[in-house]
Structure formats: C-alpha cells, structure tokens
Structure 1
C-alpha cells in the first residue's frame, strides 16, 4: 500500500507540461499550454536584434537586417539567455512577438519573414516543443531600425 502511494505521488510530481495542438492544423504554435503545479516560471524581457551591418546607420533597418534576419538574431539572443539560466528553447511555453511594419512591405509587418526565422527554432525535429504565441504589429520599437522584439515565458522542467 505504501509503495502504491509512493508511485502515485511520484507520477504526480513527474507530471509534464501539456501542449495542446491546434485541431486539424499543422501551424507551428500550441493552441494552449498547461503547466502543472510546482513548476518554476521564468519570464524573459523583450529581446531585440543585433547589428548585422556595422557600416549602416544604427537607427536604420539596414543595420539590423530584414524581418527574417532580425527574428533569427532575436531568437539566438533568447536561446543564449535561456542557456545561461539552464533552460532551452524547448522550455518556452509562451511567446509574444512585436513586429513593426516593414518599409519594404508597404508598411505591413512581414509575417512570412518572421515565420521563416521562427521555424528554424520551433517545431523542428531537434526542438519540436511549440509555445502558445501572439504576433502583433506595433507602430514602433525603441530603435527605428528594429522590426522585431520578442519576449518569452519558459518553465523550468
């Protein structure tokens, strides 16, 4: 009886995060994520892109690249921050994405460019865990050259 009780308690403690797929869809986000009690939640502040062209004006899109380039840069920065915290991209459960309208895209956000960068990090064979996610177009970010800012919430396994 004691052994059965310990097994039940052990399985409750080992409960995993549940990621609910969008029904009838292969879109690479989770419709919802359930986090069991007792997990530690880690909130990362918004991350911004790195300079890719040292010769370009630091307040220009040219200094940071297009939406795809900026998305990859931001996600690499997030990945490094997570690693310093002993976490991985697979531990991300929620993502909020802020995209500025791209002048090269008629002032509309480049969602396809964002997805090109995003799918290099999420929903891959190496990292299949998908976060719940929102993507919004904003009027501007802290630097006029930024097209992308991303903040994430991760859960310590």
Structure 2
C-alpha cells in the first residue's frame, strides 16, 4: 500500500516536472473526484445510471440495459460540460454485477446499450473496453458502473 501511495505521489511530481497540467473538477469537500484532467486526457470516475429512488443507498429497479443507458447519459453530461462527447472516449472500463433477483449477469443487455451509443452511424467511434464481472457494486441494486478516459481532440 505504501508503494502504491508513493507511486501516485511520484506520478504527480513527474507530471509537474514535464509541464503537464492536472486539473481536478470536484469541489474541495468531495470524497471522490468526479473527473480529472491530466493534460489533454479526462479521467471520469465510475458512473452509474440515475436511480429510481434517490437516497442512501439509492435504489434501482431498472434492468442492466436501462442502467447502462443511464450511465452513458450521465457520462455524456460530464463530457459535455468539458467540451467533449462520447466520440472522444478512448478507454472504457465496465463493472457488471449480477441481478440480485436472478443471480445472472446480463452482458447482452449491456452490449445492446453499448452498441446503441458506440460504433453507430451517428457516433462511429468505439473505445477500447474491458468488461469485468463483479459480485456486486457498492449500491446493492446497481447492476453496472462505468469508468471512461476521454481525449481532447487537437485543433
């Protein structure tokens, strides 16, 4: 653990020495940064869809496909605020949990949502992607969480 922390601190020093600007987008009191610019790369934290019942914890009644579409909409909002779009995403990490009612992970539902937003006529770009099955997410009724990295296009 100490090595990991040292590596993170050192990477910040290396960025500063190389003139790479690191810009954190969250307020000083946030527990998790929503997104961080490192040079022309925007790293967006894990994003879920919009819950049916906000609260602590929030509650989702939607299936995997619906939750995935919601996560993509929420990611798109973050990107838009930074002058980017879904086509600027270069890397995606998907954390997929099984439905607590059935115990089955719905990879097909996630892929249908993905294919409706990436590699289409309207938005032909597809990021590199990893999809990982997890036993559950922090939000018990959540079925998907998505992290992305987007690149600012050169003008």
TM-score range, shorter chain: 0.5 to 0.7
- Are 1:97 and 2:68 counterparts? no
1:92 Cα offset (Å): 0.2
- Structure 1 gaps of 5+ residues are 1-38
Q: Distance in 2 between matches of 1:61 and 1:127?
A: 28
1:108 Cα offset (Å): 2.6
1:41 Cα offset (Å): 1.1
1:122 Cα offset (Å): 0.2
> How many residues are aligned here?
115
Question: TM-score with structure 1 length normalisation?
Answer: 0.67
> What secondary structure sits across from 1:120 in the alignment?
helix
The equivalences for 1:4-153 within 5 A come to 40-52=40-52, 54=53, 60-62=59-61, 65-104=62-101, 106-153=102-149
Higher alpha-carbon deviation: 43-52 or 73-82: 43-52
Q: 1:153 to 1:61 in 2, by over 3 A?
A: same
Do the aligned residues in 1 keep the contact of 2:100 with 2:141 (CA within 8 Å)?
Answer: no
Higher relative contact order (CA 8 A, sep 6+): 1
Q: Distance in 2 between matches of 1:139 and 1:46?
A: 16
1:61 Cα offset (Å): 4.1
1:102 Cα offset (Å): 1.6
Runs of 4 or more, structure 1, over 6 Å off, are none
**Which of structures 1 and 2 has the bigger CA Rg?**
1
Cα root mean square deviation, aligned = 2.2
